[in-house]
Amino acid sequence: QKEVEQDPGPLSVPEGAIVSLNCTYSNSAFQYFMWYRQYSRKGPELLMYTYSSGNKEDGRFTAQVDKSSKYISLFIRDSQPSDSATYLCAVNYGGATNKLIFGTGTLLAVQP
């Protein structure tokens, strides 16, 4: 079993839709949770970073962590064509090392 599983997509939605991107993880020792956005031919850009269960909101983006279910989500409200990118979830144990475990990524296309 992979440590982090991510819905592979691709996902295509109309402009203005609410997008839900999801990952599950297997090890309850993971403490830190991140979402990165990667545009074509660019590096991953940190979108959201959280270390607790619950919701964290930043503009149109909401990151949700449910540690009891080992489930993390990213919601995008009022999606825009500029949101078209690959979204990567990542988890981290914290503690002795800062190694990231990435999901496989979900390619999102927002159609105008």
**Closer Cβ to other proteins, 6 or 73, answer by number:** 6
Which helix (H) or strand (E) covers residue 96, if one does? none
**Closer Cβ to other proteins, 19 or 30, answer by number:** 30
Shortest Cβ distance from residue 16 to other proteins (Å)? 27
**Closer Cβ to other proteins, 81 or 94, answer by number:** 94
Chain positions contacting other proteins, by CB under 8 A:
31-32, 34, 36, 41-46, 49, 51, 88, 92-100, 102-105
Shortest Cβ distance from residue 1 to other proteins (Å)? 17
108 touches 6 (CB < 8 A): no
Which helix (H) or strand (E) covers residue 101, if one does? strand 100-102
Residue with tokens 């691709």: 10
Shortest Cβ distance from residue 78 to other proteins (Å)? 25
List the beta strands (DSSP E) in 29-92. Answer: 32-38, 45-50, 54-58, 61-66, 71-76, 85-92
